Amino acid sequence: MSRSFKALLDFPIADLRPFSMKIHGVNLNDNYNWLRAPNWQEAMREPSKLPLDIAMYLNAENDYYNEAMADTIDLQDQLVREMRGRIKEDDSSVAQKNGIYAYSTRFDVGAEYPLFIRTPRAGGNEQVFLNVNTQAKAYKYFDLGHTAISPDQKVLAWAADVNGSEFYRLSFRSIENGTDLDYHIEDVGSIAWADGQTLFYVRANTNHKYNKVFCHKVGSDPSDDVLVFYEDDSRYDVDVYRQRSGTYITIQTGMNDENEIRIIPTSDCATPPIVIEPRSQGVEYYIHHQDDTFFIHTNADDAIDFKIMKVPVVAPSRANWVDLVVLEEGRQIVSTMVHKDWLIWIERHNALPRIYYVAKGQPIITAKVIVFDEQAYAISVDPGLEYDTDMFRFTYTSPTTPSQIFDFDFSSEQRVLRKTQEIPSGHDPLDYVTLRTMAPSHDGVQVPVTVLYHKDTQLDGTAPCLLYGYGSYGMSLHASFSSSRLSLVDRGFIYVIAHVRGGEEMGRNWYDASKFNCKTNTFHDFIAVAQYLIKKRYTDKAQIVIQGGSAGGLLVGAVLNMRPDLWAGAIADVPFVDVLSTILDEKLPLTPGEWSQWGNPKADQQAFDYIRSYSPYNNVTPQDYPPILVTAGVSDPRVTYWEPAKWVARLRATKTDNNVLMLRTNMSSGHFGKSGRFAALEDTARSYAFALKVTKK
């Protein structure tokens, strides 16, 4: 099959440096293992410390990318202008009430980052207490992490990562005068205020594992902070948060499918953490405090799609848990939250969410539901800063409908539209079509598919298609609005989301059906969606560009090996493609926790053999591949830069076609690419320019 994007003659060739290790009697030969820097932890914090030979290779690949994509520069600039034209430059959030103040954020025209503002609710001038643009101006990359306002509303705790490594520095700012105290705490994860002077925080070790909880008194020397909790199981990460009631600090330690919770009363922070229920294999539970009760969102007792239980605060162990909202076939309880007088939860039916609520003390049978009408949509909820309130805020969106923020009054059942996302360059939802359909997979299972296209696009098999997927960790892809996608859709593309197994769109079984020795269901589902789109004349196999990032990059890499003939091109963003090597290496910070998803190939030969059978890096073969664009981040702690680099090197040395293969490594950022609301558009424009080029649009 002819392709429209051929390789240039001067592509980089990585050195072959023999390396081998023997596992379960199998020699794993890896000539590109040298691309993993021996000082990778140091280089993650300071990319300039990357060994010279590795840096030279990555830069050579970047130069090749720039040369190969040079004829798309004007197109990329045009795409950025279009996408930026759909963003309201002087945008602001809907204010959140908190006592005597209302808090909000605002963007100034041209600004990459927001201003944090509070205004007296009784009247008075607004106060800008954090200008993120000022903080970010000295850095190429800047990500604002956790922020939390102290209960007395005098101090802001805020954290920032300045190189993409996700090591965050915590600072304390006086909200009244807008200045920071003269000290910081390094490598901080989640944070939670107990009172106006006491903050709990989680800290990472040198291996990027968040495993220690400390208690800090504002203004004191951090070296004097008290270690409250230490997690010694390398599979588990630790988070800390404040219950909305304000009564407890919660310490949660866990991995993907298992956790354990401890609490500390905010009235006595010196109290040793109290375990709600000891960890048990495969059991997840999450607590929400209201008066003398904990509501527990859990999969205990084989409640695969979760249920809600309740238990007295004075006797919170599992032996005392009582069913409240029971397991029901076809319904997954996604999340739970509480106000002082209300219990709220989100359910998912047939891949679409609903909001349920019930007043305190009322029978669950009286619960009411907030419903929505479109075929495909997404909602997100914001319980707000106040606990004692009847108001509840949620955001509604669909592929054709820009986000709408509603306040809902539980008592009056009135829904008030507070804000609609403005598209300055114009947008008419009636110009676009969104539909939900189902594609039969290899084993007869029906896979949900969300389709977006312009009403003038002909469904006769000639339209190009961007097919997006993920399919891991139970993460569901939401049918939400993206103004950037319109730059493809307005050019005649059909944009498709494949809700493949591995997410939870169809419940927990949908996730479990793609773990361990079922992982290839994800890949078969994705291929089946493509074949369905071709059969139904949405597009043609010469016109499908596939895209996925991180574990979605694993999906892209796998289906490239399995069916390279189906695709016009492929975009693999920070792809998890060297699965076997990574899951074998327990020294990598994320690996031990990953064994609950993929199996432990070091201890289990069956897991080793199965992962080896699909790992994209291990299954590159001499065959024709379509044009491929791969991205990486040199300080990425989630998918380390050497995974995509090694994959590209092996692909280039093995494949039999002359189609372009490009690796673009961001040398100053990590997993999420460029920071800032406009700078990030450049990454999207590169991907879209590639898709347009390979489909000749």
What pLDDT digit, counting tens, does each position of 418-459 carry? Answer: 999 999 999 999 999 999 999 999 999 999 999 999 999 999
Closest CA relative to residue 419, chosen from 151, 94, 104: 94
Question: Across residues 572-597, what is the average pLDDT?
Answer: 95
pLDDT digits (tens, 9 = 90+) for 28-61: 999 999 999 999 999 998 999 999 999 999 999 9
602/313 Cα distance (integer angstroms): 42
Catalytic residue among 636, 668, 669, 687: 636
Strands of 114-197, DSSP E: 115-120, 127-131, 143-149, 155-161, 169-174, 179-180, 188-193
Q: Which two tokens stand for residue 483?
A: 């103004």
Cα–Cα distance measured from residue 190 to residue 237, given in angstroms and rounded to the nearest whole number: 11
The mean per-residue pLDDT over the stretch 316-325 comes to 98
- Going by pLDDT thresholds of 50, 70 and 90, the confidence category of residue 208 is confident
Question: What is the C-alpha separation between 130 and 323, in angstroms, rounded?
Answer: 44
| Average pLDDT, integer, range 72-83 | 98
Report the pLDDT value the prediction gives residue 672, as an integer from 0 to 100.
Answer: 75
Question: 0.85 cut: is pTM over it?
Answer: yes
Catalytic status, residue 550: yes
407: tokens are 């306040």
pLDDT band at 7; cut points 50, 70, 90: confident
Query: Has residue 177 got a pLDDT over 60?
Result: yes
State pLDDT tens for residues 628-652: 999 999 999 999 999 999 999 999 9
Q: What is the mean pLDDT of residues 581-593?
A: 93
Q: Tokens 């296209």 — which residue?
A: 453
24 is catalytic: no
3-state secondary structure of 602: coil
Model confidence band, residue 3 (pLDDT cutoffs 50, 70, 90): low
Q: For the chain, which domains are there? A: 20-84+428-694 (3.40.50.1820)
pLDDT, one tens digit per residue, over 542-560 is: 899 999 999 999 999 999 9
Task: Say whether 288 is catalytic.
Answer: no
Summarize pLDDT for 505-533 with one digit per residue, the tens: 999 999 999 999 999 999 999 999 999 99
pLDDT score for 2: 43
Which is the catalytic residue, given 190, 476, 487, 550?
550
Looking at this protein, which amino acid is placed at residue 23?
Answer: I
Instruction: Please give the pLDDT value at position 1.
Output: 41
- Of the residues 146, 190, 671, 687, only one is catalytic, namely 671
Per-residue confidence band for 116, with pLDDT thresholds at 50, 70 and 90 = very high
**What's the confidence (pLDDT) of residue 589?**
84
SS3 215: strand
Contact 144, 116 (CB under 8 A): no
pLDDT in the model for residue 665: 96
Q: Are strands 494-498 and 465-468 parallel, antiparallel or unpaired?
A: parallel
Q: Calculate mean pLDDT across residues 355-381.
A: 95
Q: Please report, for residues 154, 217, 286, 467, the alpha-carbon distance to residue 199 in angstroms, rounded to integers and kept in the order given.
A: 13, 7, 21, 45
pLDDT at 383 over 90: no
